[in-house]
Amino acid sequence: MRTSPARRFFAAAGLVAGLAAATGAPAGDAPAGFPLAGTWTLVAADALHPDGTRSSDYGAAPKGLLMVDRQGRYSLQIFRAERPHFANGDKAHGSLVEYQGAVKGSSTHYGTLELDAKRHLLVFHIDGASFPNWEGQQQRRTFELRGNVLSYRVPPRPDGDVPISVWRRIGADMAR
């Protein structure tokens, strides 16, 4: 069975649009996408204490990466640089200190982000997390975006400390 050139054109156009939607690539006149889309590197992971002092929450040189796509899907990782290595090289047979360092020295989660720019509010819809209690939660954070620097405050912990994360957009994404 032969198909007309017009039918082949529309079939190809539909395929391209479907692939663009599946990969997150813009199709035609689609909007530019989520304003925080890009790759971000961690600048600081601090805690603001009730007395007004501030300290490093993940050590002196925390490491982290936040990736956000055009639809607001994200993946976030924060690590304490000074985490102890497992002496035997086998994560299934670590010591209590090694396991504590691995768990307390990292915070990772992924899901989708919602942005309310007028209220300076980010909402993390968490699908998966290194701390399983967060899975399925919606967590709100007040944020500031200044150029390529994003900072947000996590709601206070039971001890009153307020975690603050500061990220800098990197790479080709800096042109936004």
Q: Structural domain boundaries of the chain?
A: 1-28, 31-175
At 92 the pLDDT is 94
Residues in the chain: 176
| pLDDT score at 33 | 81
Helices and strands: H and E segment counts in the chain: 2, 9
Q: Is the CB of residue 46 less than 8 Å from the CB of residue 55?
A: yes
Tell me, yes or no, if the pTM score tops 0.85: no
Select the CATH number that applies to the domain covering 31-175 from these four: 2.40.128, 1.20.950, 3.30.70, 2.60.40.
2.40.128
Whole-Å CA distances, 4 to 1, 11, 14, 15: 10, 11, 15, 17
- Residue 103 confidence (pLDDT): 94
pLDDT score at 173? 56
Counting Cβ atoms within 10 Å, is residue 35 exposed (0-12), middle (13-18) or buried (19+)? middle
What's the average pLDDT block by block, 10 residues per block, for the chain (176 residues)? 40 34 34 84 97 95 97 97 93 94 96 95 98 96 96 96 97 60
